[in-house]
Amino acid sequence: MSEPTATTETTAATDTTQPTDTTEAIDYTRLFRLDGRRAVVVGAGSGIGRECALALAAHGAEVVCADRDVAAAQTTVDLGGGARALQLDVLDADAVARAARDLDADGGVDVLVFTAATNVRKRLLDYSGEEFDRVVALNLRASFELVRAFGAGMAARGRGSIVGFSSIRAVSVEPGQGVYAATKAGLVQLLRAAAVELGPSGVRVNAVAPGVVDTPLTAQIRAVPEWSEAYASKSALGRWSHAHELAGAVVYLASDASSFVTGSQLFVDGGWTAIDGRYTPPS
């Protein structure tokens, strides 16, 4: 019995890949703090993006609130959600690249969060090519341009966190959501690829996957009681989420609390994807 013990001790002593216990050096009270870091939140003018900007700023980040509607972005700033507003149309690849260059020249960006997306709720056979291109352009192509533009500067500086918003539709589809679901599944793989490629440069890339969220974009569903209740009952918590309930996941992924998390998709869906079907058998 003594020989295996001796061998194990020798291996551990000479294995330089063993993690070092640094518990005493870590100040856990600051684990989620973002002081001294600049975050860009794309889609900060309303909904989930606004709440993310507010949360990041509350944890000490200098937040640039970017949105196509600069007045809405300024409202977020005025609410305490950032240092300044930036007009940005993510469908304009040149504008995205220019914004990234300007911010890189002005100290760089440590955190990028983007939430912008659109949906045309139609069955596949009813979709037009123009509608398909419109959904793909915002949900996938614009994400590609954001990751490229801001990821380059992060990689050059050797640090950064990119957080994109996917959806439960990346893994769960219903009729009329096919193209949207395809773009969200594609986004997850795009972000995973970025995590693999940018990881050696110290850049982490992750996705947050919301369930059904009460925002202006889902007002159409909320306006139909039967539809709204069906969605609520699908989650384990039996309700819709609110935009502010997504902000904590973003703070986590932006901060050192998630320093070894990359290439992941964090579901904030109230247990939607944990449930198989809507029928509860009698006990």
Residue 26 structure tokens: 């870590």
Catalytic residue, candidates 28, 127, 180, 252? 180
From CA 123, how far away is CA 212, in angstroms rounded? 20
Residue 137 structure tokens: 């352009």
> Are 198 and 151 spatial neighbours (Cβ–Cβ below 8 Å)?
yes
* 180 belongs to the catalytic site: yes
C-alpha 253 chain-centroid distance: 8
> Are 209 and 236 spatial neighbours (Cβ–Cβ below 8 Å)?
no
Please give the positions annotated as active site: 180
